[in-house]
Structure 1
């Protein structure tokens, strides 16, 4: 038995496999849903081998829309938590970091030390040497609040 024995179903299943591999190689959480749609059409062709190509393409398009909508809803209802959610947002990874006030925060602005660098900061009045927590990053300025110790 070889892949040719499966006819058009084999082509759709190979397409699903290639799309799945492409999702792994180029992660974007999109191709996986199209791969599922191709797999559904491939399995449907195993049950209905005489399905015309126009119907196959129509089914693929419809299932692609359905799977993408299901995926969008899933990620809306169950968002990615932790560091993975901030992987491509370096500024967001600073939220929660503990900093030390380098230049007193007066009238809402000052400067803080984070790691081996210094950053402009906004927040309540804080004296030099005070430790604070980053609660947000706004246009390269760290928004801080006093660290409850």
Structure 2
């Protein structure tokens, strides 16, 4: 154990070990951007291996390197989005557009409620009585825009 403590006492090795741990955690729990923080720790570790620096300088390098890595990573994902077989996966309201639903509380003066699945949503549209069938055509401010279904 003394050998491990001696190795980890070297700041560069300690930063690289931290980078490895962060990268492993990112593999176990993907999607939390630890890979970019790991890159900052790795950069700090490589610099600390070459240059003997005070701890506060190493922490500053880590902060800057991590921030740069996060900024570059975000830009990368914006420029190269990951294609999805279901682009509306996390956009529940967009998935509702086009569905026919039932008015649960009459739409009066443009406002009412509709039953969607086992829940109810506020709705806006032309006046419609309870039980009328309407089609979801859009959304605004958490309310569904509906239009009458013509049979």
Shorter-chain TM-score range: 0.5 to 0.7
Shift, 1:79, TM fit: 5.8
1:16 matches 2:19: yes
Shift, 1:125, TM fit: 4.9
Picking from 121, 124, 128, the partner of 1:122 is 124
Residue pair 2:36, 2:66 contacting (<8 A) in 1 also? yes
Aligned ranges for residues 1-149 of structure 1 at < 5 Å?
4=7, 7-23=10-26, 29-46=32-49, 48=50, 50-54=51-55, 55-78=57-80, 82=87, 86=90, 92-97=91-96, 98-102=99-103, 103=105, 105-125=107-127, 128-133=131-136, 135-136=138-139, 138-139=141-142, 141-145=143-147
Shift, 1:121, TM fit: 0.8
Unpaired runs of 5+ residues, structure 2, are none
Residue pair 1:105, 1:122 contacting (<8 A) in 2 also? yes
Distance 1:74 1:147 in 2: 44
What is the RMSD computed on CA atoms of the aligned residues? 3.8
Distance 1:72 1:145 in 2: 39
Residues 69-109 of structure 1 show CA distances to partners (whole Å, capped at 9, x for unaligned) of: 2233334445676356x3xxxxx413331241325544322
Question: Which SS does the other structure have where 2:67 is aligned?
Answer: helix
Shift, 1:11, TM fit: 0.7
Give the number of equivalent residue pairs.
139
Question: Which SS does the other structure have where 1:96 is aligned?
Answer: helix
Shift, 1:62, TM fit: 2.0
Unpaired runs of 5+ residues, structure 1, are 87-91
Distance 2:124 2:118 in 1: 19
Residues 15-58 of structure 1 show CA distances to partners (whole Å, capped at 9, x for unaligned) of: 11233345566766343322110012223445x1x432344333
Structure index of larger Rg: 2
TM-score (normalised: structure 2) = 0.63
Residue pair 1:94, 1:137 contacting (<8 A) in 2 also? no
TM-score (normalised: structure 1) = 0.64
